[in-house]
């Protein structure tokens, strides 16, 4: 070990070697974007968002209430499905039918008081909307016709075929042996639809729709679609209608409200104006930024000309 003039050992140096790599002197390329290269992009982006916003709003306002393909939604107010502890309270391995006794991450609805695993487990499944809604049509005051409703075709293809699967078994009740229903449910998961055996278990359409959590506290979820047959082949004819609703889903505990919505859809979805307004707002902000940058650029350019002269 070397020693300095004071006969003390030198400490090892931590300075990087004097090389181009370690001293960060490697050649580099930096893009120098001029104002005339950037501003057209802002104006084009703003124009696109403004145009899409106008189209989406016009499309949403063109939704009709009684003609064409009519869909029935249930709507909830003040129900927060976006709370983190709520959204993570599920087990995807269980919902795939791989291990129905796997209740990890499903707190506080993992097991019942006897320690039996819950299927489906978790807070989302336990709070599933379970009102029964029927629609009746009165072409005359003394005539009542039940509007045919379909529960098929209300889920996303990816949910029905990828995210949710039943256990591989020829007998669904026996496949769920050793599990119990969620505390707030009236029926086990394999008896959700006694009229259609294929609409049971984790592949139940209403269950799949509910498990896709909403981002906002006021939301609507697809419940049924009108079967276009008989007097309803062209949609819902003009006349009087009534709803028969079995009240099973309480809303007073969370100071909420619930309702039923009948609507058609367009290429952009339902009658909500949110997406169109969002596009218009984004386009307006982008254009405001573009005009501001243009004004600053022209002002700075004029100042440079004056200083040079």
Within a domain: 256? yes
Q: Is the Cβ–Cβ distance between 120 and 105 less than 8 Å?
A: no
Per-residue pLDDT tens for 228-264? 999 999 888 988 999 999 999 999 989 999 999 998 8
User: How many distinct structural domains can be found in the chain?
Assistant: 1
Residue 214, domain member (yes or no) = yes
Mean pLDDT, residues 82-107:
95
pLDDT digits (tens, 9 = 90+) for 113-125: 999 999 999 999 9
Q: What is the pLDDT of residues 139-159, one digit of tens each?
A: 988 899 999 999 999 999 999
The answer to whether residue 166 is domain-embedded is yes
Please check whether residue 41 lies inside any domain of the structure.
no
Indicate whether 30 pLDDT > 60: yes
Within-domain flag for 16: no
Q: Picking from 65-74, 88-97, 165-174, which range would have the lowest pLDDT averaged per residue?
A: 65-74
243 occurs within a structural domain: yes
Residue 169 falls inside a structural domain = yes
Domain membership of residue 110 as a residue range: 62-277
Confidence of residue 213 (pLDDT cuts 50, 70, 90): very high
pTM above 0.75, yes or no: no
- Comparing 70 with 57, which gets the higher pLDDT? 70
């Amino acid at each position: 070990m070397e020693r300095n003039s004071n006969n003390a050992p030198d400490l090892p140096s931590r300075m990087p070697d004097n090389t181009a790599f370690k001293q960060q002197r490697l050649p580099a390329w930096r893009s120098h974007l001029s104002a005339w290269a950037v501003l057209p992009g802002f104006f084009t982006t703003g124009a696109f968002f403004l145009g899409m916003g106008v189209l989406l709003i016009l499309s949403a306002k063109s939704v009709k209430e009684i003609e064409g393909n009519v869909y029935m939604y249930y709507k909830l107010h003040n129900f927060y499905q976006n709370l983190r502890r709520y959204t993570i309270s599920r087990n995807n391995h269980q919902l795939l039918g791989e291990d129905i006794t796997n209740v990890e991450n499903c707190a506080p609805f993992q097991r019942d008081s006897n320690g039996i695993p819950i299927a489906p487990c978790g807070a989302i499944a336990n709070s599933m909307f379970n009102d029964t809604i029927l629609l009746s049509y009165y072409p005359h005051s003394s005539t009542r016709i039940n509007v045919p409703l379909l529960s098929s075709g209300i889920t996303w293809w990816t949910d029905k075929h990828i995210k949710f699967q039943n256990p591989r078994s020829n007998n669904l009740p026996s496949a769920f042996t050793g599990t119990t229903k969620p505390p707030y449910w009236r029926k086990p998961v394999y008896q959700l639809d006694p009229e259609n055996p294929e609409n049971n278990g984790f592949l139940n359409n209403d269950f799949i729709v509910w498990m896709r959590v909403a981002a906002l506290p006021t939301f609507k979820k697809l419940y049924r679609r009108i079967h276009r047959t008989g007097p309803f082949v062209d949609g819902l004819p003009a006349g009087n209608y009534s709803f028969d609703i079995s009240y099973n889903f309480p809303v007073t505990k969370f100071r909420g409200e619930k309702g039923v919505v009948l609507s058609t859809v367009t290429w952009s979805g339902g009658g909500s104006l949110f997406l169109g307004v969002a596009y218009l707002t984004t386009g307006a902000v982008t254009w405001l930024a573009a005009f501001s940058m243009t004004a600053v650029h022209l002002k700075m350019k004029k100042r440079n000309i004056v200083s040079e002269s």
